[in-house]
Amino acid sequence: MIPTAEEWRSIPGYEGFYKVSILGRVKTVGRTFIKSNGQRCVVRERIRSICSSGRYNTIDLSKQGIHTTEYVHQLVMRAFVGEPLPGMEVCHESGDTSDNRLVNLRYDTRAANQADRAAHGTSNAGVAHGMSKLTDEQILEMRAEYKRGAVTYRDLGNRYDVTQWAVGLIIRRQRWTHI
């Protein structure tokens, strides 16, 4: 494999402060400035540490005393591709949300992003969701029983220890839509 040169670009909105690379790394731009008290301040160029926050890598940036936390994959795309069109979001081609290399990222619709998550097995729908009380089999049983007309939402809710509101959403396929 031929190594690729690491290309760096300024992060939009943080020009002169930070840069991001095609490999998903972020660095502080070296600079010298004068503080409001007249003191000279030197900032050395350095690679910043990336944080793993939930599913995505983040980085804390500051400019003129304002601190923000940004998603690294979004910074890479904004710097190298541009701002997303309305309704578009950043998708990870491989499904690995810690891989923020430009070659692994693309803009696409939310529906396409959700389809990718299902294909990669990274979706947290149904039993994969940490708060799920029901299994796929129980959902299928619940829908079949209701379709036969044998039970009410309340009956199903009591049997499966969920609210009748939740049962209604499941029966109408507004929840557990993947089944």
pLDDT digits (tens, 9 = 90+) for 140-163: 888 988 988 878 899 898 988 888
Which parts of the chain sit beneath pLDDT 70? 1-4, 120-132
Position 116 scores a pLDDT of 78
pLDDT tens digits for 113-127?
A: 888 777 766 655 555
Q: Where are the domains of the chain?
A: 8-120, 128-171
- Architecture in CATH of 8-120: Alpha-Beta Complex (3.90)
**So what's the pLDDT on residue 175?**
79
DSSP 149: T
pLDDT at 7: 95
Distance CA(7)–CA(80), nearest Å, equals 10
pLDDT value, residue 124: 58
Say if pTM beats, i.e. exceeds, 0.85. no
Q: Left (φ > 0), alpha (ψ -120 to 50) or beta: where does 173 sit?
A: left
